[in-house]
Structure 1
């Protein structure tokens, strides 16, 4: 049963039926008790009537002149005509003398035996009987009736007692169904509103008039629509920027290929070298675009683990040593304190690669680039220094934006994505990125992380880190 409407109807109508059954049983019990009290009262009235005006034997009439003789049609005990067997279903009246002698019975035979005064439940002639005995001044009157006749009489009345309850269940069931449908109507309306939308309609769901129970759903849905709209906007922007940025290097590659084709044998080697540099720039731009796309994708989940920042820095310096030598730049690992951080290893590798590559690309030949790791005040700090042209303080905020190139340098121009990628990774891993002037006159990029107080090396079974 995977439907809110069906669940509500099931539990509410089930509760209604269970309650109705209990009320019916309670009502039936009370009605049965009341019915028995009325029948007992009727038996008492019959007994008192017999005491006042009942049948007396003829011998009593002669001996007691004040007594009234029975009507001619009223049979004496000795003259009583045979009764049919079905007369046992009627009231049976019996009159006894104070000495226990049966003087009169309304049926053939003796009838139920004489009982003590009051009400009694007895078994006689194979049936259960309800008996009332009353002691008079000159006689004892006993009235009896079968229990089966009582039950059959009450059973004929029971449907009229239960019919209102059944009607109530039907009416309330219909009302409950109508109430559930009306209560869930806002949910149906919300679903129809979303279903009618096109794939480009990411406007928020209207909140005014929405029931309080649906407001959390509406707010969550609006937040999701806002995130999706932001993601699509960023993707469109990235695609537009990528198309714009790739247009220039690809055009340059095409031009260099044409020049190489037209060059003489002596000039062809230089033309091919320029073509290789153009291809390298395009490849680097595509790689950074892919890095930015992966970082901004909501599908990628960071997997932070404890890792040594100083080891990562040493690996990055070793990886870019050949590139630095080719450009005539002194790349080295300066102060390198042991520092552990809790971050995504893949993210920090990309961060370090972009920092070192960015410094190498924007530093002229003969310059120096130093990578250092410091630990102080519960922080692990990564620093990349160069003695290049640096970035003016007024331009540092712009330098962290995508596709912003402040000072393109000849053939070593970058894509404008390196620092934007570093900023994004630092934010994802709860790091703080700052750009300041280097003591050597160039740019210092500083990324501070919270130090992770973990044992090193990690225990057996832990995720391996660099």
Structure 2
């Protein structure tokens, strides 16, 4: 299982074990060296004691005892559990041995490790006043005594390793407790629980994660709120034309054949309004933050404007309006062709839809400094300066009683402009009317951040 807790415990406990092994080896070597130094010092003290208490004159040398055979000293294994002290005269003759037939030959002054009769010995030789004292002990005895002390060295180390393991586990669990609390908090929340996570007191490693998660929750909450508002507004706005269509259909059934054409015209107008509202709602839904990812590509803007004017010229002619391209510099920009065509269509359609008399509608394209200016102006009724900011909001109709429009045209224009990093300006046309100006940057348009 891919677990942070397991990884931390594995690495930390492994580090403790490896460190403990290294410490144990070093401690063993240091303890063995110190033990030998202490025991060697003990040999020196024994030699000094023997020298001080041996005050009898040395007897004349008789004969040097023959060196013991391996059978001789093997019979005295029980005596090897203690040290052997020997006194030699100035001629190298052995005059005293604490264990008969046991002990290595005389060595030069100082400490030595010698092998005698297949046995390793540690000894100390001290010459003084015509005599030489030699004190020896087998290495095996010394090693056995050291091994007898080893449990007392290993028990604390084992207890230390166990304590470190338990403390490491407790420390890891305590360090990961904020993550557990955060997980529990998020797990207990419902679909509406998008409030921010408390970051007070969180460790510095977890606080950035919580802050990033709070930013995500905030964006999701904004998105859901926007979608709920959009659905509520859409349902409300669709209810009006659909109710009108139903009423007009009922009236058409009640009137006589002579009044059928007029009733059907009213029915067609209601259907057209519902169709237009549905189309704008679909356009607006495609511009929601969750779906607003432009498909950029090089677009010849002057050709796009000509196509839009040509497509809507028949409707303008039917309404008695003069729609034309006042001027279009040849410009190519990296934009979303479909979205920008929707923007131009909505600007022209907005001008045609809110006129009560034949008007002149001019579409133009030019460059002003670092921007490309797309402009649609008319000499219609216009929008008062105090209402222009509100006119950009969704489902806002400044003249709700005229039965025209759905309050979505300019809001769609604003959404598409924001998608391209552009700015929308509402101004008054000289002589009266409304001019909508869209300033597009000449530089490449950055992709908007996905919420």
Cα distance, 1:311–1:124 mapped onto 2, change above 3 Å: farther
| Partner residue, 1:36 | 36
Aligned 8 A contact 2:249 2:267 in 1:
yes
Matches within 5 A, 1:284-433: 284-364=276-356, 366-407=358-399, 413-433=404-424
| Partner residue, 2:18 | 18
Q: Distance in 2 between matches of 1:236 and 1:124?
A: 100
Q: Which deviates more, 141-150 or 443-452? A: 141-150
1:278 to 270, 281, 285: 270
Q: Distance in 2 between matches of 1:311 and 1:154?
A: 99
Aligned 8 A contact 1:340 1:380 in 2:
no
Matches within 5 A, 1:260-271: 260-271=252-263
| Partner residue, 2:169 | 177
Q: What are structure 1's unaligned runs of at least 5 residues?
A: 64-75, 455-466
| Partner residue, 1:201 | 193
Aligned 8 A contact 1:383 1:447 in 2:
yes
Cα distance, 1:453–1:177 mapped onto 2, change above 3 Å: closer
Cα distance, 1:29–1:271 mapped onto 2, change above 3 Å: same
TM-score by length of structure 1 reads 0.82
Q: Distance in 1 between matches of 2:405 and 2:33?
A: 99
Q: Which deviates more, 183-192 or 278-287? A: 183-192
Aligned 8 A contact 1:355 1:418 in 2:
yes
CA RMSD of aligned residues (A): 3.3
Cα distance, 1:52–1:410 mapped onto 2, change above 3 Å: closer
Q: Distance in 1 between matches of 2:368 and 2:292?
A: 32
Cα distance, 1:164–1:426 mapped onto 2, change above 3 Å: same
| Partner residue, 2:449 | none
Alpha-carbon distance, 1:384 to partner: 0.8
Deviations 1:206-225 (A, max 9, x none): 45555555443443344333
SS where residue 59 of structure 2 aligns? helix
Deviations 1:316-352 (A, max 9, x none): 2233333334433332222212334444444323222
TM-score by length of structure 2 reads 0.85
Aligned 8 A contact 1:339 1:451 in 2:
no
Q: What are structure 2's unaligned runs of at least 5 residues?
A: 446-451
Q: Which deviates more, 440-449 or 78-87? A: 78-87
Cα distance, 1:280–1:161 mapped onto 2, change above 3 Å: same
Q: Which deviates more, 347-356 or 37-46? A: 347-356
| Partner residue, 2:448 | none
| Partner residue, 2:52 | 52
| Partner residue, 1:72 | none
SS where residue 326 of structure 2 aligns? strand
Alpha-carbon distance, 1:383 to partner: 0.6
Aligned 8 A contact 1:336 1:372 in 2:
yes
Cα distance, 1:23–1:179 mapped onto 2, change above 3 Å: same
Q: Distance in 2 between matches of 1:409 and 1:52?
A: 131
SS where residue 135 of structure 1 aligns? strand
Aligned 8 A contact 2:333 2:442 in 1:
yes
1:434 to 425, 435, 438: 425
1:225 to 206, 217, 220: 217
2:434 to 424, 443, 455: 443
